[in-house]
C-alpha cells in the first residue's frame, strides 16, 4: 500500500545541506515543503549533512500529512537517525527540532488507521465497536467506567475471545451486550449463547450481524433483542473499505434542537480520523437524523425486520421498547416475553443483573414450552 505524504519544515540555519528525494541544496533560513510517496512502514523523508556541532537552532518540523490527513503528533510518526555527529552518541531520536546530521524517516504507527468501528471490504458485514476489543473491565465499556483498556489497535468483526462454531447459538441486539453489567451475569452468558450484542445497535445493524452469522456459522438458534426503531447506521466508503457506525439518538425528538447524541457517538465526532474528518461525519449524522425524523412510520427499520425474519435460522425475538415489541408478531412466529427492566446496571440506565437473570429464566421456559407444543403438533 502506498501513501501520499507532505511535510513542511522551517530552517533556522544558513549552513549545512538538505536532501529531499533526488534534490540536494544548501540550507537557508526559509520554509521547505516536500511531497513524497511512502511505500511501506518506514520511508526516508530527507537527510541533513555538514551541520556544525553544538547548534542552538536547527530544522523545525511544522506539519506532516498522510493522504491529506494532518497528523497532530509529528514525533509519533517520525524517527531521526543521527549519523556522523562528533562529541555525541549517534542515536535514534523522536523530536520536532533537529540539530544533527542524519536521516529523518516516516515511521507509520498502526494506530493511524484505527477507527472506532469495524471496517472491511464488504458492504454488508459485521457492525462492531473496536473499542471493546481492548476493554478489560468486568462490566465492559460505559460512561463513568474506570479506564481499563490494554494497548493495541484492533480492527476485528466481533469479540475475539469468542470461538463460534457451526450450529452454535447466538445472542444479538441492543441491551444484549449488557452495558455496565458483569460479563458473566448477562442473559447470553447465563444461557451459554455467544454474545454478539452491540451497544447502540439498530435493526439494520442487527440484520448485518445476523446475515453474516448465518453465512459463516449456520447457527442453530439466534435470540434477538430489538431496540427502538429510530436507530440507523451511518455508512460510507473510503477507497476499498466500507464503514458502519450505529447512530443512536434520544427517543424524544421532533427537531434537531431536541436531539441528544449518545455517549459513543460523541466520542466519534470529537476528532478527525485518517479515513474521514469530523466535519464530514457530522454532516452525515445530520443527514441521517433528518431521514429518521421524516420516517414517521419507521418503515426503514420495518424493512430490516422483514429481512431478518426471512433468514434461514430458528429465530426468537423480543424487545425492551413497547412500541417495537408490539409489532414483532407481524414479522416473527417465535416472540419471547418482554425484556423488563427490574433493576439498573452500574450506569443507572441499562438493565441490571437481576433483569438479565429473570429474563434468561423466562427465555428457557418459553422456548421449552414452544418446543413441546411443536412436538405435540407433529
- pLDDT at site 261: 53
- pLDDT at site 250: 60
How far is C-alpha 268 from the chain's CA centre? Answer: 8
- pLDDT at site 84: 95
Q: Which domain holds residue 57?
A: 3-108
- pLDDT at site 82: 98
Q: Is there a single domain that holds both residue 182 and residue 150?
A: yes
Q: Is there a single domain that holds both residue 215 and residue 263?
A: yes
- pLDDT at site 127: 97
Q: What is the pLDDT of residues 109-166, one digit of tens each?
A: 888 999 999 999 999 999 999 988 988 878 777 777 666 778 888 999 999 899 999 9
Q: Is there a single domain that holds both residue 81 and residue 44?
A: yes
Q: What is the pLDDT of residues 76-116, one digit of tens each?
A: 999 999 999 999 999 999 999 999 999 999 988 888 999 99
- pLDDT at site 338: 98
Q: Is there a single domain that holds both residue 77 and residue 217?
A: no
Below-50 pLDDT ranges, the chain:
253-260
* CA–CA gap between residue 91 and residue 85 (Å, rounded): 10
Cα within 13 Å of Cα(301), Cβ side:
24
Of 58, 78, 108, the residue at which a domain comes to its end is 108
Q: Is there a single domain that holds both residue 308 and residue 163?
A: yes
- pLDDT at site 147: 63
Q: Is there a single domain that holds both residue 85 and residue 189?
A: no
* CA–CA gap between residue 52 and residue 65 (Å, rounded): 30
Count of structural domains within the chain: 2
- pLDDT at site 9: 98
Of 79, 108, 137, the residue at which a domain comes to its end is 108
Helices 203-217, 299-309: axis angle to 10 degrees equals: 20
134-156 in b/e form (b: 16+ CB < 10 A) is ebebebbbbeebeeeeeeeeebe
- pLDDT at site 47: 98
- For residues 179 and 353, the answer to whether their CB atoms sit within 8 Å is no
- pLDDT at site 259: 47
Q: How many residues does the chain have?
A: 378
Structural domain includes residue 114:
no
Amino acid at each position: 500500500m502506498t501513501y501520499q505524504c507532505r511535510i513542511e519544515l522551517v530552517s533556522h540555519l544558513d549552513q549545512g545541506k538538505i536532501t529531499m528525494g533526488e534534490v540536494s541544496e544548501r540550507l537557508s533560513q526559509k520554509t521547505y515543503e516536500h511531497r513524497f510517496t511512502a511505500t511501506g512502514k518506514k520511508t526516508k523523508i530527507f537527510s541533513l549533512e555538514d551541520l556544525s556541532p553544538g547548534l542552538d537552532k536547527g530544522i523545525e518540523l511544522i506539519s506532516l500529512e498522510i493522504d491529506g490527513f494532518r497528523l497532530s503528533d509529528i514525533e509519533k510518526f517520525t524517527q531521526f537517525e543521527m549519523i556522523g555527529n562528533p562529541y555525541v552518541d549517534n542515536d535514534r531520536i523522536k523530536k520536532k527540532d533537529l540539530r544533527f546530521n542524519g536521516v529523518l524517516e516516516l515511521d507509520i504507527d498502526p494506530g493511524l488507521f484505527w477507527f472506532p468501528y469495524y471496517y472491511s471490504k464488504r458492504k454488508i458485514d459485521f457492525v462492531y465497536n473496536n473499542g471493546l476489543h481492548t476493554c478489560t473491565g468486568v462490566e465492559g465499556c460505559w460512561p463513568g467506567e474506570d479506564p481499563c483498556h490494554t494497548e493495541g489497535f484492533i480492527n476485528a468483526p466481533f469479540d475475539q475471545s469468542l470461538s463460534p462454531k457451526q450450529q452454535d447459538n447466538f445472542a444479538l441486539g441492543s441491551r444484549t451486550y449488557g452495558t455496565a453489567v458483569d460479563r458473566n451475569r448477562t442473559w447470553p452468558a447465563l444461557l451459554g449463547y455467544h454474545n454478539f450484542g452491540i451497544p447502540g445497535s439498530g435493526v439494520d445493524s442487527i440484520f448485518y450481524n445476523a446475515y453474516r452469522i448465518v453465512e459463516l456459522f449456520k447457527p442453530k438458534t439466534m435470540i434477538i433483542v430489538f431496540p427502538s426503531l429510530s436507530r440507523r447506521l451511518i455508512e460510507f466508503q473510503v477507497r476499498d473499505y466500507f464503514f458502519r457506525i450505529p447512530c443512536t439518538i434520544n427517543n424524544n425528538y421532533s427537531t434537531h434542537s431536541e436531539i441528544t447524541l449518545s455517549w459513543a457517538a460523541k466520542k466519534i465526532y470529537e476528532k478527525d480520523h485518517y479515513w474521514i474528518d469530523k466535519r464530514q461525519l457530522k454532516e452525515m449524522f445530520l443527514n441521517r437524523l433528518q431521514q429518521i425524523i421524516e420516517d414517521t412510520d419507521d418503515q426503514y427499520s420495518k424493512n430490516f425486520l422483514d429481512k431478518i425474519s426471512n433468514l434461514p435460522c430458528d429465530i426468537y425475538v423480543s424487545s425492551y421498547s413497547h412500541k417495537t415489541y408490539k409489532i414483532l408478531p407481524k414479522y416473527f412466529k417465535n416472540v419471547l416475553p418482554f425484556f423488563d427492566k427490574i433493576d439498573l446496571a452500574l450506569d443507572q440506565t441499562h438493565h441490571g443483573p437481576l433483569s438479565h437473570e429473570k429474563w434468561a429464566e423466562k427465555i428457557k421456559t418459553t422456548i421449552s414450552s414452544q418446543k413441546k407444543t411443536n412436538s405435540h403438533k407433529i
